[in-house]
Amino acid sequence: MITAVRLPRRHATRSAKPGPSREPPKPPAVPPSPAWRRWLLPIILLVVFILLLSRAHQPSTHSLAYSAFLGKVDTGKVKTVDIDDKGGITGKLKDGREFTTRIPTALGNTGLEQELRAKNVDITASSSSGGASWVGPLAALLLPLFLLGALFLWTGRQAARTLSGGLSGIGRSRAKIIEAERPTTRFDDVAGYEGVKQEISEVVDFLRHPERYAVVGAKGPRGVLMVGPPGTGKTLIARAVAGEASVPFLSVTGSAFVEMFVGVGASRVRDLFDEARKRAPSIIFIDEIDAVGSRRGGIRLGGNDEREQTLNQLLAEMDGFDQSSGIVVLAATNRPEALDPALLRPGRFDRHVTVPLPNQSERAAILAVHARGKKFAPDVDWNIISRATPGFSGADLANLLNEAAIHAVRAGAAVITAGDLDSARDRVLLGRRETSNALLPEERQAVAVHESGHALVAALCEHADPVAKVTILPAGPALGATEQLPEAERHLYSEGFLTDLLTVRLGGRAAELVVFGEGSTGAADDLAGATQIAGRMVRDFGLSPALGPVGYATTGTAQRLGEEAPGDSLHRPYSEQTQRLIDEEVARLVRQAEQRATTLLRDHRAALDHLADLLTTRETVDGSVVLDVLRQQPGLPPTGHAD
């Protein structure tokens, strides 16, 4: 699969690393129990096992009939006998085997003594004990029961220690309580997000000076919900609020409330707010609140009642605590649509703060923060890197710098260069770069033609982003790539830009049709992306004359350009006739884009062949080479541009 143009990503961000912190004072430790106690039960079990094993290996005693006993006496095989007062005989044969028998009461032992003496058998006599018959079986019955009871007792104590206080500790909240002196993160440590910090600074001011609000009768915010994509630094901003306000900070995740035991979640919510009241003024931070605050009444498999009870308790606690006590609840989620409406109403979460992806200037500041502790070459320019990473979050930028550092170490360098950052960006976006190109010669030529088509069409289209780099080195699932960097960060997309975007998407397939006269499977990813963009142009943006200004957006502004809405084929808000019209318009837009790209490449066939030859030889060229190839072609200068 050949990957060409990629739309700017719009995901998540974490702006700065949490500052160092000191551990809170620990409670006095309970004196440990003697070490020999933990080994007592295993030693007893081992001794009993050895005794049973030795008993099992004792010589077996077999029972003989009285007539067989007399026969062995006659043949001289009996060595010793012991006769009790009830006629029981135990003895030992000359071959070492033991036996038991009994003298019939009617016969008595008349003549047996003389016969035993005649055969030189040692004779002894003993008296039988009445209790001996039941002591052994009773001990054999009670001993396993005793051992099982001791084993269960020992296991229960070990489990109690694991549960941190036994069953009474299950209902305790698992919040990390960070005392006032510990949060060292401040707003200055959070790069960018000036609007977010200004909006949330009122929470800090309320916690610092609650009397100022009481004078005019104003009430501070009871709860603040931070909404944003993953990695946008919501947890970091919450820690910065605690650091600025210098108050205790109780942090817990939404999943920590839900357990397999009924009522545990509600108990933990109560315990969490009790801990906050003891430390008021304080901040409660609930990360990933959608794990416990999702909509009620939906059909779910397992744990639905327990989750609803936990949510109900959370709603009651947020309504119940005294607002003058100085307790503020901060929560973070990246799925606000999944939250219950009762949780979002004023009086519970009064403020909804959106933490968006960073813009270009904020990305440069975030890169500078994550660059601390790393060595960079003088050719590294954060403005260029931030421009080359549209849609990257703070977490993505941190990963980018780490990948660049790994690449520099692998190359044996002591500093990180701009080339390392460029290779790290390709690895993040495309995957691991294959240094050994294992393509067949004809495949290598086809990939070069395909990527040359993308690059030339991008340079020839007026509204397309400049070409930064073209490569035919495989990376991940892509056999080649044409990278474009926007000159400025866009928030609105015009119809001309979208039309040029479609044309660039189909530039690779058009080049194959111009040079080889047929397409290939390498354009599969391009066709899928172009179809999605054309579908959104028709269905969401009202850019089709056939449908007119009608939009059928399924996810509103949350849907990103170039993404297919989940469940798009289900519950469509239009008829089958409208769907047929949408399909026709999508096909029309894609065909027009392919025809336009084909026409442009036929008019610049010499430049296409020249650029494909350069790619086959060099494997990677930058955008200036694309412009040079177009300038060398006789005719009008190109209308596009490259980076």
Give the start-end residues of each E strand in 458-537.
467-471, 481-484
615's CB contacts (< 8 A; 6+ apart) are 448, 451, 452, 470, 471, 472, 621
CB 361, CB 386: distance < 8 Å: yes
Nearest to 394 by CA among 420, 425, 362, 354: 362
Q: How far apart are CA 306 and CA 301, in angstroms?
A: 12
Residue bearing tokens 């416990």: 292
Active site residues: 451
Q: How far apart are CA 113 and CA 123, in angstroms?
A: 8
Q: How far apart are CA 396 and CA 366, in angstroms?
A: 10
CB 456, CB 611: distance < 8 Å: yes
Nearest to 359 by CA among 401, 390, 400: 390
Identify the helix (H) or strand (E) that includes residue 79.
strand 78-84
> Alpha-carbon dihedral of residues 61, 63, 66, 68, nearest 10 degrees?
-80
CB 296, CB 305: distance < 8 Å: no
468: which DSSP letter?
Answer: E
Look up residue 415 and give its two tokens: 């500093």
CA distance readout (Å), 437 to 441, 446, 617: 10, 14, 12
In this structure, the number of other CB atoms found within 10 A of the CB of residue 347 comes to 11
Burial 167-199 (b: 16+ CB within 10 A, else e): eeebbbbebebbbbebbebebebbbbbeebbee
CA atoms within 13 A of residue 542's CA, in its CB half-sphere: 4
